[in-house]
């Protein structure tokens, strides 16, 4: 794939990719990050991916990145989920 084909592919499919991810995770910042990561992954593989397969590659990579992000976020949990410890420790 050439640089021109890469740019054209990103221009054509980035919006649809964003909407696909946003529909599933309901967080615009995370969706934007996933689309950016996907474009970066495509750029790193630009010499290996054919322009005819670029859309499929982008959606597959974005889906897998989204699943990884969901799993990572689930493991980390939210700060509000942590129990509060209101005790004060006195050092004497």
Per-residue model confidence (pLDDT) at position 86: 63
Structural domains in the chain, CATH included, are: 3-76 (1.10.1740)
Q: For 35-72, give one letter per residue: b (16+ CB within 10 A) or e.
A: bebbbebbeeebeebeeeebeebbbebbbebbeebeee
Taking only the tens place, the pLDDT of each residue in 27-57 is: 899 999 999 999 999 999 888 888 888 899 9
Mean pLDDT score of the chain, rounded to an integer?
86
pTM: 0.71
Least confident of 6-15, 37-46, 54-63, 72-81: 72-81
Residue 89 has pLDDT above 80, yes or no: no
């Amino acid at each position: 794939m050439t640089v021109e084909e890469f740019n054209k592919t990103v221009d054509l499919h980035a919006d649809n990719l964003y909407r696909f991810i946003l529909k599933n995770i309901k967080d615009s910042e995370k969706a934007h990050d996933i689309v950016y990561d996907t474009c970066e992954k495509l750029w790193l593989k630009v010499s290996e991916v054919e322009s005819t397969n670029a859309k499929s590659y982008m959606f597959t990579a974005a889906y897998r990145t989204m699943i990884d992000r969901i799993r990572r976020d689930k493991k980390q949990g939210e700060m509000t989920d942590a129990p509060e410890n209101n005790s004060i420790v006195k050092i004497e």
